[in-house]
Amino acid sequence: MTVLVFGAGGQIGQELLRSLSGRVVCAVTRSGRLPNGRECVQADFDRPETLRPLLDAQRPAQVVNAAAYTAVDRAESEPDVVFRINAQAPGVIAHWCARHGVPLVHYSTDYVFDGQGTSPYGVDDPVAPLNIYGASKLAGERAVRAAGGCSLILRTSWVYAAHGHNFL
């Protein structure tokens, strides 16, 4: 029973791989290499049309999508790229998962909100992204839901780990 992890080289993906040790995992990164140099499956989310054949070849039992375009400020200058990576690619994955009865865990962000809340956000709180990054992640959530499969969307905030670029 293979768990396919998109974004395995990122901050969340690396922690997922660590926590899934002992299970059969197919790690997928943009470069085809993990940070430790080990080879893995390569995927380019900027070319969403390449994801369906990858999934057909791997035939996972579960899929986790932790891949994303996360350069929030730079996103403003290249919205087409950001939406392909954060919205279209998750939609392709979600449709494949729905068609094959494969559960999907998709990582999103609190950037789908406007930041004006005074208490923790709830699932049903209104969304109002303030930038391209947040709008693209919201579009990704909507694409995952529209696919109609078994999915779980996690909205993260302030992610940190022993590696990565947060809290420097």
Does 167 reside within a domain? no
- The percent of residues above 70 in pLDDT, for the chain, comes to 95
Q: Residue 16: which pLDDT band, with cuts at 50, 70 and 90? A: very high
What are the CA-CA distances from residue 6 to residues 38, 40, 148 (Å)?
A: 15, 11, 20
Smallest CA-to-CA distance from 90 within 156, 3, 6 is with 6
In the predicted model, what is the mean pLDDT of the chain? Answer: 93
CATH number at residue 138: 3.40.50.720
Question: How far is Cα 79 from Cα 102, in angstroms, rounded to an integer?
Answer: 30
Residue 166 falls within a domain, yes or no? no
pLDDT band at 159 (very low <50, low <70, confident <90, very high): confident
Whether 162 maps to a domain, the answer reads no
Q: State the Cα–Cα distance between residues 138 and 87, nearest whole angstrom.
A: 8
Is residue 141 one of the residues assigned to a domain?
A: yes
Query: Under 8 Å CB-to-CB from 24, ≥6 apart: which residues?
Result: 1, 2, 3
Domains held by the chain: number: 1
95-126 residue pLDDT tens: 999 999 999 999 999 999 998 888 888 888 89
List, by residue number, the catalytic residues.
133
pLDDT-derived band at 75 (thresholds 50, 70, 90) equals: very high
On whether residue 168 sits in a domain, the answer given is no
Please give the average per-residue pLDDT across 81-86, as a whole number: 98
**Residue range(s) defining the domain that contains residue 35:** 3-156
In a domain, 163, yes or no: no
Give the global pTM. Answer: 0.93
- Burial group, residue 89, by CB count within 10 angstroms (0-12, 13-18, 19+): buried
Asked if residue 101 is part of any domain, the answer here is yes
Kindly indicate the confidence band of residue 168, based on its pLDDT and cuts at 50, 70 and 90. Answer: very low
Distance of alpha carbon 84 from its chain centroid, rounded? 12
